């Protein structure tokens, strides 16, 4: 009996000593841990033997990473929403290997809410390499800087990659490459400066590429050459200047929509988009485009939407809309167009009579002349309500002392304020510098500071084009455009077309102004014969 009591006493003493020692060790570990410093237990260091669950990191109070998962059991989660905070975790941290405990995750998001730029300054390739089932990956508000080669671990099943607002400046060679099922890449709202021709490789399924709101000023020829299945390319709100080479778009044989809105382009050269044989929509709104070559849109048999609004165009070549047989929408609002001739719209004239066509051109600075009279005739003939309204509301400006014949506007309908068009179109501006640059139009015209529309001088008035007729319009000959041989004849030819239709409808002979030149030639011949 005594021996049993002695044994029990010894057992109790041993238990108390073990308990106290464990408490001492635990308290010492907690006391030595500091905020923001990675500290693992001895068991944690051997990740391979314990495999800590990335969806249960709330037990690791010193790790600057936490993930909300749809399932917390190991290998059970399919969605993980992770937050990186404080100073983040360094690239070599063992925590990235812990993502292997949830290798069946198909949707992964990293949200950065750090105190410094180092919270997450890299793509966590170590974690991604352990998640082969990923379909969707998003990283937002990081400070990545450079996306390195093979940063996404060649994830063969990844379909949607979104890297918005991560201060990305550079895309290294093969940084977005070798992902056979990748379909959408979103790189918007970063600081990317250029695109070399070795960034995108082995992406056979890519359909959409969004690179809007960056600082891209250079794109290498052939940069997209391997993206033969790409259908939509967004390069809007960047810093592209001048006129792009057609070879920038080499290989983009499937692209249907190209958005280059709000860049600094100033010219569309010949065959500029000819590589885009399937292009259906082209957005060039809010650039600085002054001229478009007559063959600028050649090679685009499928184009049906063309947006050229808010540029600096003063004229359009007669060949601009040639061979664009599927075109259904044209927007040339708020340019500096001085005229819009019959020769320019002749290729689309029949479609302008069709109810499915949309044609927008308000906010330009047309000069009143006979070259605009086709608008009045079309307003009567068209079955398209939108086109009819546009034609009926068309305005032009006439100098009050034109040709020295006194006030030519006294018998015409004044349609609007004397000092501007009023209103605005669009609110997307590249930056303050571009807005200031656009405040001065070509030929020294001033632009409205609020909306970029032309502002008329004090000696001009806006006239409704519908008020013009053959007797009141100034017979101004049109200038040559890109050397087109018949451009100078547009005014007379348009006048002839419109008056011929009117005369046929009324049964009256054509106005005398159409036959004035032959009569004058005869008189001159008689005078010369008498002198000789």
Q: Domain of 271?
A: 138-397
Partner residues linked to 454 by β-bridges: 447
Count of domains in the chain?
2
Residue 265 lies in a domain: yes
User: Over 162-199, what HEC string results?
Assistant: ECCCCCCCEECCCCEECCCCCCEEECCCCCCCEECCCC
Of 108, 137, 166, which residue sits at a domain end?
137
Is the per-residue pLDDT at 222 higher than 70? Answer: yes
Residues 267-304 as b/e (b if ≥16 CB within 10 A, e otherwise) read bbbbbbbbbbeebbbbbbbbbbbbbbbbbbbbbbeebb
* pLDDT over 80 (residue 388): yes
pLDDT at 475: 61
Determine, yes or no, domain membership for 402. Answer: no
Q: What is the pLDDT of residue 457?
A: 53
* Whole-number average pLDDT of the chain: 79
- Strand-pairing partners, residue 54, are none
Higher pLDDT, 148 or 425: 148
**Which is more confident, 400 or 405?**
400
Nearest to 109 by CA among 81, 72, 71: 81
Residue 375: band (very low, low, confident or very high) from pLDDT cuts 50, 70, 90: very high
User: pLDDT of 180-215, one tens digit each?
Assistant: 999 999 999 999 999 999 999 999 999 999 999 999
Mean pLDDT, residues 373-395 taken together: 94
Last residue of a domain, one of 346, 364, 397: 397
Q: 0.85 cut: is pTM over it? A: no
Residue whose C-alpha is closest to residue 340's, from 315, 363, 319, 358 = 315
Residue 394 has pLDDT above 70, yes or no: yes
Residue of 305 and 498 predicted with greater confidence: 305
Q: CATH number, domain at 309?
A: 3.80.10.10
Q: Can you give the length of the chain in residues? A: 532
- In this structure, the answer to whether residues 373 and 296 fall within a common structural domain is yes
Residue 364: which pLDDT band, with cuts at 50, 70 and 90?
Answer: very high
pLDDT of residue 322: 94
Q: Where is pLDDT greater, at 247 or 513?
A: 247
Least confident stretch, 179-193, 500-514, 516-530: 500-514
Question: Do 56 and 170 reside in the same domain of the chain?
Answer: no
Q: Is residue 21 part of a domain?
A: no
- Same-domain pairing of 120 and 156: no
What value does the mean pLDDT take over residues 528-532? Answer: 56
Residue 487: its pLDDT value, please?
41
pLDDT at 157: 97
* Phi, psi (degrees; rounded to nearest 5) at 267: -155, 145
Q: Are residues 146 and 269 in the same domain?
A: yes
Are 248 and 295 found together in one domain? yes
- Give the rounded percent of residues in the chain with a pLDDT score beyond 90: 60
Q: Which residue has the higher pLDDT, 217 or 485?
A: 217
pLDDT score of 474: 74
- Does a structural domain hold residue 302? yes
* pLDDT greater than 90 at residue 105: yes
Say if residue 99 is in the same domain as residue 145. Answer: no
Domain check: are 242 and 319 in the same one? Answer: yes
Q: Look at residue 63 and tell me whether its pLDDT is greater than 50.
A: yes
The closest of 234, 136, 145, 220 to 179, measured between CA atoms, is: 136
pLDDT at 339 (0 to 100): 94
pLDDT tens, position by position, 282-297 = 999 999 999 999 999 9
| 186 shares a domain with 112 | no
**Is 2 part of a structural domain of the chain?**
no
**Which pairing describes strands 281-283 and 257-259: parallel, antiparallel, or unpaired?**
parallel
Rounded-to-integer distance, Cα 85 and Cα 66, Å: 9
d(CA 326, CA 52) in angstroms, rounded, equals 60
pLDDT at residue 398, rounded to an integer: 78
Query: Is residue 488's pLDDT more than 60?
Result: no
* pLDDT(499) > 60: no
Domain boundary (397, 419, 451) is at: 397
Say if 338 falls within a structural domain: yes
Residue 461 pLDDT grade (very low, low, confident, very high; cuts 50, 70, 90): confident
* Pairing, β 160-162 against β 184-186: parallel
Query: In this structure, are 99 and 196 located in the same domain?
Result: no
pLDDT given at position 52: 82
CB 265 within 8 A of CB 244: yes
HSE (side-chain half, CA atoms, 13 Å) at 238: 28
Q: Which residues of 52-76 are buried (b: 16+ CB within 10 A; e: fewer)?
A: bbbbbbeebeebbbebebeeeebee
Establish if 317 belongs to a structural domain. Answer: yes
pLDDT in tens, 5-58: 665 666 565 554 434 443 433 333 333 333 333 434 434 434 344 568 899 877
Are residues 288 and 207 part of one domain?
Answer: yes
| Same domain flag for 95 and 168 | no
Both 332 and 213 in one domain: the answer is yes
The tens digit of pLDDT for each residue in 133-165 reads 999 999 999 999 999 999 999 999 999 999 999
> What does the block give as tokens for 146?
């450079």
Residue 252 included in any domain:
yes
């Amino acid at each position: 009996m005594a021996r049993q009591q002695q044994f029990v006493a010894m057992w109790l003493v041993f238990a108390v000593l073990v308990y106290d020692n464990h408490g001492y060790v635990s308290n010492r570990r907690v006391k030595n841990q500091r905020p923001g410093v990675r500290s693992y237990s001895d068991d944690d260091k051997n990740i391979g033997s314990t495999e800590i669950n990335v969806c249960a990191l709330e037990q690791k109070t010193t790790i600057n990473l936490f993930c909300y998962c749809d399932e917390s059991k190991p290998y059970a989660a399919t969605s993980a929403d992770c937050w990186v905070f404080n100073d983040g975790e360094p690239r070599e941290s063992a925590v990235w290997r812990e993502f292997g405990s949830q290798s069946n995750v198909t949707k992964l998001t990293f949200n950065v809410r750090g105190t410094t730029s180092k919270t997450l300054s890299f793509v966590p390739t170590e974690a991604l390499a352990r998640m082969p089932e990923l379909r969707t990956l998003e990283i937002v508000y990081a400070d990545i800087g450079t996306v390195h080669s093979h940063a996404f671990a060649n994830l063969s099943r990844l379909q949607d990659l979104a890297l918005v607002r991560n201060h990305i400046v550079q895309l290294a060679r093969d940084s977005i490459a070798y992902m056979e099922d990748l379909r959408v890449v979103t790189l918007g709202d970063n600081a990317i400066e250029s695109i070399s021709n070795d960034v995108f490789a082995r992406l056979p399924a890519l359909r959409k590429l969004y690179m809007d709101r960056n600082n891209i000023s250079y794109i290498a020829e052939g940069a997209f050459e391997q993206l033969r299945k790409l259908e939509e390319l967004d390069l809007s709100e960047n810093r592209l200047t001048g006129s792009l080479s057609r070879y920038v778009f080499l290989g983009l044989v499937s692209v249907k929509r190209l958005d280059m809105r709000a860049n600094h382009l100033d010219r569309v050269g010949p065959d500029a988009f000819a590589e885009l044989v399937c292009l259906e929509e082209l957005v060039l709104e809010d650039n600085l485009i002054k001229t478009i070559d007559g063959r600028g849109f050649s090679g685009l048999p499928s184009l049906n939407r063309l947006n050229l609004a808010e540029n600096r165009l003063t004229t359009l070549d007669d060949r601009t809309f040639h061979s664009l047989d599927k075109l259904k929408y044209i927007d040339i609002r708020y340019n500096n167009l001085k005229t819009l001739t019959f020769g320019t719209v002749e290729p689309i004239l029949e479609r302008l009579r069709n109810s499915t066509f949309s044609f927008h051109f308000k906010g330009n600075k047309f000069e009143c002349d006979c070259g605009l009279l086709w608008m009045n005739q079309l307003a009567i003939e068209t079955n398209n309500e939108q086109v009819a309204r546009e034609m009926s509301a068309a305005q032009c400006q006439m100098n009050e002392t034109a040709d020295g014949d006194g006030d030519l506007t006294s018998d015409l309908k004044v349609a609007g304020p004397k000092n501007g068009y009023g209103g605005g179109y669009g609110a997307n501006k590249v930056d303050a510098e571009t807005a200031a640059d656009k405040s001065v139009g070509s030929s020294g015209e001033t632009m409205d500071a609020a909306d970029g529309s032309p502002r008329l001088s004090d000696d001009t008035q806006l006239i409704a084009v519908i008020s013009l007729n053959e007797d009141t319009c100034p017979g101004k000959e049109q200038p040559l455009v890109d050397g087109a041989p018949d451009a100078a004849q547009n005014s007379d030819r348009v006048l002839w077309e419109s008056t011929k239709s009117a005369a046929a409808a009324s049964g009256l002979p054509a106005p005398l102004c159409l036959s004035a030149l032959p009569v004058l030639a005869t008189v001159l011949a008689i005078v010369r014969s008498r002198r000789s």
